[in-house]
Amino acid sequence: MSNPVSLYNLIGGEAAIRELVESFYDLVEIDPDGETVHVLHLRGHGINHLRRAQFEFLSGFFGGPKLYIARTGHSNMRMMHEHVPISQVEVDSWLLIMMRNLENLGYEAALKAKLMDHFKRAALMIKNLHD
């Protein structure tokens, strides 16, 4: 019986995760549809902090090194976001920008769908305002 290949390895490991995160936050900063997410991040620790944290988190989330846990001691998404008001508007904005990001990076349809399934579940988990 073989072990399933992790998403971390499927997308290309560390370099691919870093590119995914960097290009995502580049879009958040310039795409009008990302403004809602951008404003939230500016109220928090800022985009540069998030680039590092998201890279570390996604590494472990996709089955690679658990960098975020090593640095913070946990990877509890609800706890990480409890200080940020997140409604369906922010969830939709985040997911739209991530979908554009995956399209811009040229991910093939099946892998893009698999990644978006993970992102959708995660985004809904951290929603803490009910419209």
Q: What is the pLDDT of residues 102-127, one digit of tens each?
A: 999 999 999 999 999 999 999 999 99
CA distance 83 to 43: 10
What is the average per-residue pLDDT within 11-28?
A: 97
Is the model's pLDDT at 73 over the cut of 70?
yes
Which has the higher per-residue pLDDT, 98 or 79? 98
pLDDT value at residue 56? 96
Mean of pLDDT over the chain: 91
Is the model's pLDDT at 130 over the cut of 90?
no
pLDDT value at residue 84? 83
**What does the DSSP 8-state code read for residue 73?**
S
Is the model's pLDDT at 62 over the cut of 70?
yes
For the record, the structure tokens of 89 come out as: 């508007």
CA distance 69 to 71: 5
Distances (CA, A) of 14 to 56, 72, 126: 10, 19, 25
User: Right CATH number for 8-126 from 1.10.490.10, 1.10.150.20, 2.60.40.10, 3.40.50.11540?
Assistant: 1.10.490.10
What is the three-class DSSP state of 31? coil
Distance from chain centroid for Cα 25: 10
Q: Between the CA atoms of 57, 61, 34 and 36, what dihedral angle is there, to the nearest 10 degrees?
A: -70
What is the average per-residue pLDDT within 20-35?
A: 95
Is the model's pLDDT at 2 over the cut of 70?
no
Distances (CA, A) of 38 to 28, 45, 82: 6, 11, 17
* Burial (CB count within 10 angstroms: exposed 0-12, middle 13-18, buried 19+), residue 77: middle
Contact 19, 105 (CB under 8 A): yes
pLDDT value at residue 77? 87
Share of the chain above pLDDT 90, in %: 71
